[in-house]
Amino acid sequence: MLRRGIFLDRDGTIIKDKVYLSDPGGVEILSGVGDAIGFLNSIGLPVIVVTNQSGIARGYLSEERLAMIHERLRYLLKRQGARLDAIYYCPHHPEGILPEYRLDCPCRKPASGMLKKAAERFSLKLEECYMVGDKDIDMETIHRVGGKGILLSDSTDLGVGSRAEYIAKDLEDAVGWIVRDLQI
């Protein structure tokens, strides 16, 4: 049986956005994120991060360093009683300086490759999934698979054409809307 899931962008959604974060010590969980993710965990919805990490293609950090950042993120969330079921990332960029990462791949948002990988692993029905992010590209990503998008309002990318189903002030607000929409 297919089920619902929650996709989260990383930078600006669950952690403070620091351009090309390369130091695990720089991971700062945003206020209320632990409680919001912990609640989603408690009601059995898979919580999955999908994030473009072109800093790898641009030579700012390695995949090993990114793994350390994600380990730190998981540790900090665990201390707040929350967990991520998976983290998917795209290290590619068509203008990357490292040849092995210089490509426009099917996993880079707004393409839906990361969502499809998660759907296969977690038996998700993508049309019934939600994506919370701080950019219009996050909304486009979830809409390409028929799901619903929640855009965080402190975004610098609130374009006129934003197609978010809901605009939230933070992740706690977004989770509240998801719960109401699911009628839980």
pLDDT digits (tens, 9 = 90+) for 13-22: 999 999 899 9
Residue 37 lies in a domain: yes
Q: Are 110 and 116 in contact (CB under 8 A)?
A: no
Please state whether the predicted TM-score (pTM) of the whole model is above 0.85: yes
How far is residue 86 from each of residues 71, 102, 117, measured CA to CA in Å?
11, 25, 11
Out of 17-21, 73-77, 141-145, which region has the weakest mean confidence (pLDDT)? 17-21
User: What pLDDT does 2 receive?
Assistant: 86
Catalytic positions: 9, 11
Residue 140, domain extent: 6-182
Task: Give me the residues paired with residue 51 across strands.
Answer: 89
Residue 1 lies in a domain: no
Give dist(CA 32, CA 12) in Å, integer.
13
User: Residues 104, 107, 108, 110: what is their CA dihedral angle, to the nearest 10 degrees?
Assistant: 110
Query: Which amino acid would we find at residue 5?
Result: G
The total of structural domains in the chain comes to: 1
User: What pLDDT does 122 receive?
Assistant: 98
Return the CATH number at 134: 3.40.50.1000
How do residues 76-88 score in pLDDT, each as one tens digit? 999 999 999 999 9
Residue 52 lies in a domain: yes
Residue 143 lies in a domain: yes
Asked if residue 156 has pLDDT above 60, the reply is no
How do residues 40-62 score in pLDDT, each as one tens digit? 999 999 999 999 999 999 999 99
Residue 167 lies in a domain: yes
User: What pLDDT does 159 receive?
Assistant: 55
User: What pLDDT does 153 receive?
Assistant: 80
**What percent of the chain is predicted at pLDDT more than 70?**
95
